[in-house]
Amino acid sequence: DAGITQSPRHKVTETGTPVTLRCHQTENHRYMYWYRQDPGHGLRLIHYSYGVKDTDKGEVSDGYSVSRSKTEDFLLTLESATSSQTSVYFCAIREDRGLFIDEQFFGPGTRLTVL
Amino acid sequence: SQQGEEDPQALSIQEGENATMNCSYKTSINNLQWYRQNSGRGLVHLILIRSNEREKHSGRLRVTLDTSKKSSSLLITASRAADTASYFCATAHSQGGAQKLVFGQGTRLTINP
């Protein structure tokens, strides 16, 4: 357990509503990531952060925004949820070991259903 | 897409047998990692092999990497029922200073008692 929590764990919402998912870590790691997992696609990177207020886009960033105002929290926002965003969302952190890209530690996931 | 391909998509074997999963990728990598995911849970890191390594062991796990063929394999020896899970390979890439993992689609492993 790398001290990562995600909230909520489950959410059902309607198309067009805004949704914010929260990832919280307790170990002050620099790097945080948001992925979505869908059948047949494995995990795909949405956005990531390499420090407070430092974020960048991943492979499937359209329709998503992120914010990181403090080290321990990384928020993922769906400005106007669509049915195609129904998925399981995972947050991950990575320790900062300089140039080496080391393992990531994953949270328990948030299952989001958009009706 | 840089996404890797995993083979087979599903594997069912008897307890005690060895399980082999393969992963292929398309672009150069810094390292390759294997993760396990139990149903309804997050991913758990298993083992990492760097691009200059050819083989690595961890307990009952053996990973090989062939950068010339852009492929890797994960061998689980003496399988147990508790090894039932999905297994994902992930390739690590540097891109403009960013450090990202690209995951394969996974192999669903079932160990039959």
- Residue A77 CB contacts under 8 Å (≥ 6 apart), including other chains: A18, A19, A20, A21, A64, A65, A66, A67
* CB atoms closer than 10 angstroms to residue A79: 12
Which residue, among B11, B31, B33, has the nearest Cα to B104 in the 3D structure?
Answer: B33
**For residue range A39-95, what is the model confidence (pLDDT) as tens digits?**
877 899 999 998 899 999 999 999 999 999 999 999 999 999 999 999 999 999 987
d(CA B108, CA A70): 37
Strand partners, A43: A37
Please report, rounded to a whole number, the percentage of residues in chain A having pLDDT higher than 70: 93
**How far does the CA of residue A60 sit from the closest CA of chain B (Å)?**
11
Q: SS3 of B41, please? A: coil
d(CA B10, CA A47): 29
**For residue range B55-93, what is the model confidence (pLDDT) as tens digits?**
999 999 999 999 999 999 999 999 999 999 999 999 988
The answer to whether A38 contacts chain B (CB < 8 Å) is no
**For residue range B26-52, what is the model confidence (pLDDT) as tens digits?**
988 889 999 999 998 999 999 999 999
Q: Which residue has the higher pLDDT, A9 or A95?
A: A9
The answer to whether A102 contacts chain B (CB < 8 Å) is yes
**How far does the CA of residue A16 sit from the closest CA of chain B (Å)?**
27
d(CA B113, CA B104): 28
Cα R_g (chain B), whole angstroms: 14
The answer to whether A27 contacts chain B (CB < 8 Å) is no
d(CA A71, CA A24): 9
How confident is the model at residue A99, as a pLDDT? 59
Contact B53, B65 (CB under 8 A): yes
